[in-house]
Amino acid sequence: MEEMLALARTGPAPRTFILDWVFPGLDPTRSITELRQEFKHSSIIILSMLDDAATIDRIAGMGANGFINKAVMPDEVSAAIRSIEDGEFVIKRSSSVMPPPAGRRTDISFLTARQREVLRLITEGKTNKEIARKLDISPYTVSIHVSALLRVLSVSSRSAAAAKAVLAGFDSRA
């Protein structure tokens, strides 16, 4: 992990990190958390043979931008990586992109109208300054809304909030 971080710090921030969920000597939870904190605008993609819903939920909750099962065909892996780099949250299991299981969808209907607006802009990849301009409020007020969103959604990052919104069927165009 330290070697990877040192290498990533030598130049411009990497566009994408691809990590194996089960790799000897690598703690994926620590890796995803540290990468997300330091490289906020980089994509984090997890590859794994494990593709149970609990593992994928855990990965999404830590701030990863996507999950790809190692059994997926190479051309599908390429397409999934491109989609993730373009800002989509992708779960690629075996031979198709799987929607979240119906029983695992998260209800976010309890959010206030303002929280839904902020979440919509987060899912579009907007920064706090961009959200502030769009909603005509201060960046400080946006940071308060974002902190509240993270707390009520029980996630630790903007990416995890966006992932949870996607898993809940939240339409960012609404």
pLDDT of 123: 85
Is 172 part of any domain? no
Q: What is the pLDDT along the chain (174 residues), one digit of tens a residue?
A: 778 788 888 989 899 999 888 876 778 788 888 888 888 889 999 988 877 777 887 888 888 888 998 888 888 889 889 888 888 788 887 644 444 444 444 567 777 888 888 998 988 888 889 999 999 988 878 888 888 788 778 777 788 788 788 777 776 554
Domain stops at, among 56, 85, 103? 103
CB environment 54-92: b (16+ within 10 A), e (fewer): ebbbbbbbbbbbbbbbeebeeebbeebbebbeeeebbbb
Domain hosting residue 143, numbered range: 105-167
Q: How many domains does the chain have?
A: 2
Last residue of a domain, one of 103, 119, 136: 103
Domain identity same for 68 and 140: no
Alpha carbons 158 and 174: distance in angstroms, whole number: 19
Q: Do 55 and 96 sit in the same domain of this protein?
A: yes
Instruction: Go through the chain and tell me how many residues it has.
Output: 174
How large is the angle between the packed helices 113-123 and 128-135, nearest 10 degrees?
Answer: 130
How high is the pLDDT of residue 105? 40
> What is the model's pLDDT at position 52?
76
Whether residue 152 sits in one domain with residue 134: yes
What CATH number does the domain containing 24 carry? 3.40.50.2300
Name the amino acid, one letter, at 100: P
Q: Are residues 62 and 115 in the same domain?
A: no
Is the residue at 125 inside a domain? yes
Q: Establish if 173 belongs to a structural domain.
A: no
Clarify whether residues 42 and 126 are in a common domain: no
Same domain? 118 vs 73: no
In a domain, 39, yes or no: yes
- Predicted pLDDT at 104: 40
* CATH number of residue 155's parent domain: 1.10.10.10
Q: Can you give the pLDDT at residue 98?
A: 44
Query: Is 143 found in the same domain as 92?
Result: no
Closest CA to 40 of 79, 8, 83: 8
Considering only the C-alpha atoms of the chain, give the largest distance between any 2 of them, rounded to a whole number of Å.
48
Same domain, 109 and 161: yes
52 in the same domain as 94: yes
Whether 14 and 98 share a structural domain: yes
Rounded to an integer, what distance in angstroms lies between the CA atom of residue 113 and that of residue 10? 42
Supply the pTM of this predicted model: 0.54
Is 110 found in the same domain as 146? yes
Secondary structure of the chain as H, E, C letters: CHHHHHHHCCCCCCCEEEEECCCCCCCHHHHHHHHHHHCCCCEEEEEECCCCHHHHHHHHHCCCCEEEECCCCHHHHHHHHHHHHCCCCEEEECCEECCCCHHHCCCCCCCCHHHHHHHHHHHCCCCHHHHHHHHCCCHHHHHHHHHHHHHHHCCCCHHHHHHHHHHCCCCCCC
Domain boundary (82, 103, 124) is at 103
